[in-house]
Amino acid sequence: MTTLAEMAVEVLTTADGRAKTALAHRHAASWRDARAGEAPEIAIGVATPPLRPARPDRPELLPPREVPRRRPGSEQGRIALLHAVAHIELNAVDLHWDIVARFTDAGFPPGFYDDWVQAADEEAKHFNLVCDCLEALGSHYGALPAHAGMWRAAEDTVDDIFGRLAVVPMVLEARGLDVTPGMIGIFEKAGVDHAVAALRTIYAEEVHHVAYGSKWFHWLCGRDGLDPKPVFHDLVRRYFHGALKPPFNEEKRAEAGLPPDFYWPLAEETSPKA
């Protein structure tokens, strides 16, 4: 019987985006059925995830500075924006399966795995939604170059579950909450309804991923008798390169269990009242 950790590694070692996300949906459904008692139990197990997930030959991955910027006022610019989002979503699928496979000995209750399998399932949906938008606009994922640095946070925190939760859901995915409303506005203005709908789904579901991060970070700190706030600040300064960028989506961050005194002390010079 395949374990959850082995299922996660299967997703991580599948290169093609549509194939990876199809497998992600299938394994997430199996896990849910097993947890609901509708199928035989699945053990968490132990596996060795690859340091880097398998990726398709395209897109070409470039250092962030070399990825060409296009203005969102043009159709080409909007395609480039969606292409960047598709790349983020594909990385997110792998990030969530990686946390499942890599931290099986951290002593988490099964609810930890429920949350990240759910998040991975949603990221797979997000990738496909955005790919559908790209294809409706005559493009596709792989047509443009993409950022090479996206997996860095995972590699930096490969043996530190506190750091992984602090940087991936609580910094990177929280940043998504800050910038998504602006992106929705760009596609509303251009009248691209399918992209507006896709981004609204992403925006609604990403709040939960940040919340899972905050919940399990606090759980770990509570278990080990640590004060979460200074621990969070230390970890972000160690693993995240650069300051956090305001303006912050205070409302959605609050909904996700991220209070202002977690992120403001890590922000660029501007103060909340300035």
Cβ-based nearer residue to Fe ion, 43 or 254: 254
Work out how close the CB of 176 gets to Fe ion at its nearest, in angstroms, rounded to a whole number: 7
User: Which residues are at the interface with Fe ion (CB under 5 A)?
Assistant: 89, 92, 123, 126, 173, 206, 209
Query: Which residues pair with residue 58 across a beta bridge?
Result: none
Nearer to Fe ion, 121 or 123 (CB): 123
Q: Shortest approach of Fe ion to residue 199 CB, angstroms?
A: 10
* Count of helix runs (H) and strand runs (E) in the chain: 11, 2
Burial (0-12, 13-18, 19+ Cβ within 10 Å), 123: buried
Q: Between 92 and 196, whose beta carbon lies closer to Fe ion?
A: 92
Q: Least distance to Fe ion from the beta carbon of 45, Å?
A: 24
Q: Minimal CB distance to Fe ion: which residue?
A: 209
Beta bridge partner(s), residue 156: none
d(CA 172, CA 185): 21
The distance of closest approach from Cβ of residue 41 to Fe ion in the complex, given in angstroms and rounded to an integer, is: 27
Considering the complex, state which of residue 75 and residue 132 has its C-beta at the smaller distance from Fe ion.
Answer: 132
Handedness of CA 102, 104, 107, 110 (dihedral sign): positive
Residue entry with tokens 């899972």: 212
